[in-house]
Amino acid sequence: MGLWRRFQNLVLDNHFTGAKSLFSVDLTRQLFGNTATPPSTTGDRSEPAVVQDSTSQTPVVHAGNQKNRQATGALKMERIRLASPILTFQSLRSALNEPCKIECFPLVDRKMIWADHLGRPFLFDAETRQMEILPVPHKSKWMPFSLFVPNVDADNSYDHQGTGSSLYIMERIPKPEANCSTHWSNQFEVFVYKPSVTSYFKSWQCQLLPPPPYIREPKYQDCCSGHEISSYAVVGIGNSFYICISVKGIGTYCLDTAHHTWRKVGKWTLPFHGRVEYVPELKLWFGLTATGHLAAADLSAIDSQPQLVSYWKQLYMPEEWKQSKDSQFVNLGSGRFCIARFFHARTLDGGSGGDVDENIAVFTSVEVVRHVQDANSDNGGFELRMIPHKSLCHKSTGVTIDAVF
């Protein structure tokens, strides 16, 4: 198995001030403790035992137990521990009616790019606490998502004059571009780490990308609100990398990251919702389904519609907890994942006797292992099994957890 990621990045959004705060959290220790669960290699079909940290007060229940028992346990969940933020960023309006928002785009490990509502970006390294101002994109994005394509060898080599790592930023619901004759689109851009035309040294540069072809097709122009990009992934095939996006009602497209050319690979869509990530230890792509369940699929044969290899249901939450936004997941390494689910609830304030609006984030840790079905079989068949560990929650009335990565 590979290395674990010890620290994760957690972004809190303060709705009153419009500020966002960055926290560095050791989710691996808080969710998994100091012990690891060895992969099951036996041939029997019994379910693995649930591993629970001995210091936890959270009643972790087996995935096979009844729904009401799981919901009852959620009400007694242990709180996640947050230290002081390492960065608080507030965007200032230039006009009273100007929308004010801040976006955070993960790079790798503890590095990320922040951008305000005008698109002004900077790179921040939470490990070294260093900040770097970046070139402003051609247009700020209203509802963007990002995908990072690493190229560490090129980044660290002065002799390598080719393109290094890249961060692709795209509108989640791109607008139709009727009668647009230019090759590029300001709804799709990429930050590239490479030498500039005036310098031998590498730096982050921003450049426009061509849009996926459907954006300019006549039948797409009739849809004023656009079609949502429902899932997206980086797919590596040999030495080439592709940005793969699925669009509801349209199909799936792939962008060649070397030549920046799009092609449609099918009318089908990926069996995920949101970001999909490759896990090298298990040689599969993982993501969340539309119902918020962790799932895995093989995307290596991208020209054909992929099917889910496995998917697993997580814990049930109390009925009075209403989902407030899409779930997120973090790959912690070595087949370990953190699944973040977000809820809103009205609870009774013991002091005033009135109701209080409460924002709740639940972090559930799971481990996916390969289980050999028959050690004596010729094909060495295996199945994937999910081992649930424990769950933590964060509750607040004034702030919400915006992202975890």
User: CB-hemisphere CA count at 13 Å for 25?
Assistant: 26
Total H helices, total E strands in the chain: 4, 25
Mean residue pLDDT across the chain: 83
Q: Round to whole Å and give the CA distance between 362 and 74.
A: 9
- 35 against 313, higher pLDDT: 313
- The pLDDT score that the predictor gives to residue 153 is 85
Q: Is the pLDDT of residue 375 over 60?
A: no
Q: pLDDT digits over 298-307, tens only?
A: 999 988 999 9
Residue 197 CB coordination number (10 Å): 5
Quickly list DSSP for 99-120: ---EEEEE-STTEEEEEETT--
- Measured from the Cβ of residue 193, the count of other Cβ atoms closer than 10 Å reads 18
The pLDDT of residue 334: 86
347 is written with which tokens?
């609870």
DSSP 13-28: EETTT-EEEEEEE-HH
pLDDT band, very low/low/confident/very high, at 326 (cuts 50, 70, 90): very high
* pLDDT score recorded for residue 244: 98
Averaged over 142-164, what is the pLDDT?
A: 86
**Which of the residue ranges 55-59, 139-143, 401-405 would you say has the lowest mean pLDDT?**
55-59
pLDDT tens digits for range 210-261: 999 999 988 887 665 678 999 999 999 888 999 999 998 899 999 999 999 9
Q: Which of 207, 210, 206, 205 is nearest to 184 (CA)?
A: 210
In the predicted model, what is the mean pLDDT of residues 98-127? 90
- The lowest-confidence range among 133-147, 241-255, 387-401 is 387-401
Tokens of 220: 């797409």
Helix, strand or coil, per DSSP, at residue 181: coil
d(CA 6, CA 76): 26
Nearest to 71 by CA among 362, 368, 394: 362
The pLDDT of residue 376:
57
Could you give the CA distance from residue 83 to residue 141 in angstroms, rounded to a whole number? 31
Strand pairing category for 87-90 and 261-266 = unpaired
**pLDDT tens digit sequence for 333-371:** 889 999 999 999 987 765 666 688 899 999 999 999 988
Cα–Cα distance, 82 to 85 (Å, whole number): 8
Please give the sequence-ordered ranges of beta strands (E in DSSP) within 45-129, or none if there are none.
78-79, 87-90, 102-106, 111-116, 121-125
* pLDDT recorded at residue 327: 95
In the predicted model, what is the mean pLDDT of residues 182-204?
Answer: 90
